[in-house]
């Protein structure tokens, strides 16, 4: 019974978060985000998956790759959606 209650609360909260983010995300940014789901020619993963995946190489080269991902996220509009104060 508790398991079902926790699952339902999580589902309801996730739905509320998704509605809020959808409302606050500009239409053009939504379009750009959808485009990141496509897998570019010659690649094995989508641009979104590439940005989302953590770089595990801690060398200077690995850190450079991590910074490339950060730059890509900011170029896409990272931080453009106000996520503060969403509580119901």
Residue 9 belongs to what domain range?
2-76
Residue with tokens 């750009």: 32
Alpha-carbon span 42 to 25, nearest angstrom? 30
| Cβ atoms within 10 Å, residue 14 | 10
The predicted-structure confidence for 15-47, as pLDDT tens digits, reads as follows: 998 898 888 899 999 999 899 999 999 999 999
Collapsed DSSP state (helix, strand, coil) of residue 26: coil
Please enumerate, as own/partner, the contacts of 62-68 that have beta carbons within 8 Å and a separation of 24 or more.
none
Instruction: Answer whether residue 65 is part of any domain.
Output: yes
Number of structural domains in the chain: 1
User: Do 24 and 81 meet the contact criterion of CB atoms below 8 Å apart?
Assistant: yes
Task: Give a yes or no: residue 25 inside a domain.
Answer: yes
Rounded to two decimals, what is the model's pTM? 0.63
């Amino acid at each position: 019974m508790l398991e079902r209650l926790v699952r339902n609360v999580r589902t309801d909260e996730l739905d509320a978060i998704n509605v809020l983010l959808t409302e606050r995300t500009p239409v053009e940014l939504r379009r750009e985000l959808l485009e990141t789901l496509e897998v570019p020619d010659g690649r094995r993963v989508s641009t979104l998956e590439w940005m989302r995946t953590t770089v595990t190489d801690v060398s200077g080269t690995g850190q450079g790759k991590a910074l490339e991902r950060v730059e890509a996220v900011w170029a896409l509009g990272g931080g453009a959606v106000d996520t503060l104060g969403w509580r119901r």
